[in-house]
Structure formats: C-alpha cells, structure tokens
Structure 1
Amino acid sequence: MTSNEIIVLLGGVHSLGFAVFHLAFWKLFDWPRALQSTNAATRAVAQILNLRLIYVFLGVAAACFTLPGDLLDTRLGNAFLAGMSLFWVGRTIEQFVFLRIDHPLVHALTVLFVAGAVLFAAPLFLQG
C-alpha cells in the first residue's frame, strides 16, 4: 500500500467520523426540543440537510475505502479528491462566518475541517 493510498483511507476515516458525528446531532443539540422554537419548514430543512450530509459522508468514506486506486489514478478520482478538499476549505471558511464562538470544541472542529482539506488535497500534490 502506498503512502497516498493510506492518505485516501484516512480521508475515508475522516468522512466516516463526520457521518457518525452528524448522526449524533439530534442528541448533541437536543434537536427535538431546540428545533421546536423554529417553524416547521426550518425544522424539516435542518434535519433533511443533516441526513443528506450523513449520506454524502458515508458515500465518500465508501469510495475512499473501496476505490483508493481509482481516486488516485483517474481524472475523475482526482476531481473527486479536489472537490472534497474544496468542500472542507469552504466549511472552514463558513466556520468563521457563521460560528463566531470562542470555545475549545469550536476550535477543535475547525482543526478537523482543515485536516479534511489537507487529507483530500495531499494525494493530488504528492503524486508528482
């Protein structure tokens, strides 16, 4: 196994971790109670978007675990890796725009977002 394949697999672990994290949102953020103060459309959209994001993270993890060679050796795979890196770059920027909270857990999440950007971009630059 090459170092780039290991990095792609770590990207899969990262994505799987975020899928599990998002599965916990209902309990972590007490969504049944907390979302009651919003209207029905906002409640639905928040939960639907979260469920779709879980699906995306699981799909990314599956691709990283089952197709590391394709992700590294094809233009489509490289575009996928670049797209995921840009996803995490965007998420990092959004953290500073929408979640301006000085808290260690918020800072830890920011580090994990940057880690995702680096994990998915690194194989593109290390291929030479």
Structure 2
Amino acid sequence: MHADVPLLLCALHSFGLAAFHLAFWRLFGWKHELARVGLPTRAIIQILNLRLVYFFLGVGMLCLLFPAELRGTALGRALLWFMVLFWIGRTIEQFVFLRVNRPLVHALTALFVVGAVLFSLPLLPA
C-alpha cells in the first residue's frame, strides 16, 4: 500500500488529467473541429495532446513508484518544483488564452490550482 498520501493524490491528479486528455477527441468533437484547420495544425494539436497524456501518466507513475526519491533527493524535489511551476503556468495561461466565463472553465482553472498545491505539499518540511 502507498503510504505517502500527498504523492498518491499527485498521482491521482495526473492520471485524471491523462484520462481527461484522452477524451478530448470526443469532448471537443475533434474529428469535425480539426477538419477545419490545416493538416500541420491538426497534427500538432493531436500530437501535443498525446504527449501530454504520456507526460501525465509518467508523472503519476513516478509519484506512485518513487515517493521517497521525490521527497528525499535534489532531483526529486526539482521534479516536484517543476510540476508546481507547470501548474502555476497552466493556471496563468488559462486567463491569457481562455477568457470564457463558463462553469467548466472555472472548474478546470481550480483543477490547475489544485495541481500546484498538491505538488507543493511533498516539498513542505515533515
């Protein structure tokens, strides 16, 4: 059993985001929506989305498999800081690029803030 609750929550957050990104094709009607843009843009969007899925799955696995290393080594703490800054940056980008006043957009923004908080928890002194 995984005893490090904050890192378990980080893993669950990452896995949830991976699943959410896998649903983009259906949620956003990408078959039809992306047909309206050029091939390079269509390819780049889908490739970047799949790389995010891979990234989130990888981060989630690291949180599950290497909690002591994430907390107890300079490299692990650097990775945690990287994720904190990733989620802070993603929150800021939400306000810059997606200025939409809808409940789902606000929920996503909150989820990004939650990511920053979750990944900062293992960095706090024990």
Q: TM-score surpassing 0.5?
A: yes
In 2: Cα distance, 1:35 partner to 1:114 partner: 29
The letter of the residue matching 1:109 is: L
Which residues in structure 2 correspond to 1:96-107 (within 5 Å)? Answer: 96-107=95-106
Structure 1 segments unaligned to the other structure (5+ residues): none
Alignment match, 1:42: 41
The letter of the residue matching 1:72 is: R
How many residues in Structure 1 have an aligned counterpart in Structure 2? Answer: 125
In 2: Cα distance, 1:12 partner to 1:67 partner: 11
Which residues in structure 2 correspond to 1:22-37 (within 5 Å)? Answer: 22-37=21-36
Alignment match, 1:73: 72
Alignment match, 1:90: 89
Deviation at 1:70, TM superposition (A): 0.7
In 1: Cα distance, 2:27 partner to 2:122 partner: 34
Deviation at 1:123, TM superposition (A): 1.6
Alignment match, 1:6: 5
Question: 1:48-79 CA distances to partner (integer Å, 9 max, x unpaired)?
Answer: 00000000000000000111111000000000
TM-score, structure 2 normalization: 0.96
Question: 1:70-102 CA distances to partner (integer Å, 9 max, x unpaired)?
Answer: 100000000000000100000000000000000
C-alpha RMSD of the superposition: 1.1
Alignment match, 1:127: 125
In 1: Cα distance, 2:39 partner to 2:16 partner: 29
Indicate the SS of the match to 1:114: helix
Identity %: 58
Structure 2 segments unaligned to the other structure (5+ residues): none
In 2: Cα distance, 1:11 partner to 1:82 partner: 13
